Structure 1
Amino acid sequence: MEGYVSDQLQLLKSVEDSWQANDYLPDMSAEGWEDNVREFRTRAAALPDDILVALVGDMITEEALPTYQTLLNTFEGVSDTTGTDTSAWARWSRGWTAEENRHGDLLNKYLFLTGRVDMRAVEVTIHHLIRNGFNPQAAQDPYKGFVYTSFQERATKISHSNVARLAQKAGESHLKTICGLIAGDEARHEKAYTNFVRKIFEIDPTGAILAFRDLMKIQIVMPADLMTDGQDPDLFDHFATVAQRLGVYTAHDYAAIIQHLVRQWELETICGLEGEAAEAQDYLCKLGPRFAKLAERNNKYQTEATSFQFSWIYNRSV
């Protein structure tokens, strides 16, 4: 697949054509920077606490990038063994990481400048998350690994896009622009990972479909699953509940992503599968609609929302 992956490198942008965090932040060296920061803070003051919590959680997830690059390099046959390998896989890994690195940088600086977030509590959470790591259950298998990244990049794109929508609704159009930029990067990355798996299905449909099934059986582990601020042991669950309540990332989105990937990889039209692989094909084609029904059922039985305190916003409740 080396040649195929090399072709996908076009989905990465050159450094010269890439935005950088400071393109979307007040220039602190400019004359009148105090007025620029004041205007920036006035806009950010429009954001409700629940959107701030969703944004902080998304930023913390992005800031755990060292964990994600480490995991990419555990996939057998596609790792960057020296740190400067010239293989297409290694160039993809480093290029992807370089683009992703800007996401946490920009969101972190944005939140710092708002003056509305306890940045030390946020930094402690980032520290914990990187120390704790996370296990996507890929077991060093590139098939499972790239199914996971295909799913997760789409989930991240959805999350940032929805925060952009909510920011616009709250009157913070600048944050809408920032989250839209990040979502655009995630869309390109999603396309590449989805293409990788599409090629794997062409080469080894049985292996690919079993890998997809295995991940879906255990369900997708969110990359910030082991998030904690040292105080709340259920911090990720509380963050995820706020995101669900806001419509930033929901059980409906989870179901829709499964259905999207089934369509992208044309699972329903694969012929010649036998035994366990044929059973996996049937299972996967029915899985998305099944999760959609479960999500709908859960919506009907939702009770009054419980509020949670978040150290990120000085222990205010959301």
Structure 2
Amino acid sequence: MQYSLRAGLDNGTENNPYMGFVYTSFQEQATFLSHGNMARLAKEAGDPVLARICGTIAADEKRHENAYIKFVEKLLEVDPNTTMLAIANMMKKRIVMPQHLMYDGQDSNLFEHYSAVSQRLGVYTTRDYAEIVEFFITQWKLENLEGLTGEARSAQDFVCKFPLTVRKLENRAKKVESCQMKFSWIFNKEVSV
């Protein structure tokens, strides 16, 4: 049986275009990294076709990311206060990918299990998340924004310190014990999560 994403996909942007551009910038960078990592893993495993497919997708995601980065750069130029608040709001929500709603009809925690495998294999890790935030802090020159309102300065401070918070989560993720879990889409094969 085939299942689709649950109705009403909520990426946390509250129908706010500022938050939408922040979300898509982050999401495109994350998918660029994860597909690039999959390409590397596929090549190491001796599957050049999968490596090429994943590499092509990664390159496409990078092009999307570049466009969204420019949108946010322009928003920071014309409305730095609202944009800084949007960036902080998205970081506080912990940007999640659309797959967080995936369901196979059996496992109600499928995304958590999928994420654990991804973390263990190095496809997409907590470290990647922290590095993406650091990348955007540098790319958008967030530490150097001046003339912000008090609320926007607080948001700036939160965002610029946020990678440290994520790095602490990375250390916790390394300590989690693995267990075996069956995944229906790979014929109920048990995988270490």
Structure 1 length as normaliser, TM-score?
0.58
Cα deviation, 1:238-275, whole Å, max 9, x if unaligned, reads 11111111000011111111111111110011111121
Question: Superposition pairs for residues 105-254 of structure 1, below 5 Å?
Answer: 124-125=2-3, 127=4, 129=5, 131-254=6-129
Higher Rg: 1
Question: Superposition pairs for residues 1-318 of structure 1, below 5 Å?
Answer: 124-125=2-3, 127=4, 129=5, 131-299=6-174, 301-303=175-177, 305-318=178-191
Alpha-carbon distance in 1 for matches of 2:52, 2:96: 29
Could you tell me whether the CA contact under 8 Å between 1:134 and 1:225 is conserved in 2? no
Deviation at 1:132, TM superposition (A): 3.0
Q: Which runs of 4+ in 1 moved over 2 A?
A: none
Q: Which amino acid aligns with 2:176?
A: Q
Cα deviation, 1:7-55, whole Å, max 9, x if unaligned, reads xxxxxxxxxxxxxxxxxxxxxxxxxxxxxxxxxxxxxxxxxxxxxxxxx
| Aligned-residue CA RMSD (Å) | 1.2
Q: Which amino acid aligns with 1:234?
A: N
Q: Secondary structure at the match of 2:180?
A: coil
Q: Secondary structure at the match of 1:287?
A: helix
**More divergent stretch after superposition (216-225 vs 241-250):** 216-225
Cα deviation, 1:114-169, whole Å, max 9, x if unaligned, reads xxxxxxx5xx13x2x1x434201111111000000000000001111111011011
Could you tell me whether the CA contact under 8 Å between 1:228 and 1:235 is conserved in 2? yes
Alpha-carbon distance in 1 for matches of 2:14, 2:21: 12
Alpha-carbon distance in 2 for matches of 1:253, 1:208: 23
Q: Secondary structure at the match of 2:103?
A: coil
Q: Secondary structure at the match of 2:99?
A: coil
**In the comparison of the two structures, how many residue pairs are matched?**
191
Structure 2 length as normaliser, TM-score?
0.95
Structure 2 stretches of 5 or more lacking a match? none
Q: Secondary structure at the match of 1:215?
A: helix
Cα deviation, 1:59-81, whole Å, max 9, x if unaligned, reads xxxxxxxxxxxxxxxxxxxxxxx
Q: Residue in 2 aligned with 1:115?
A: none
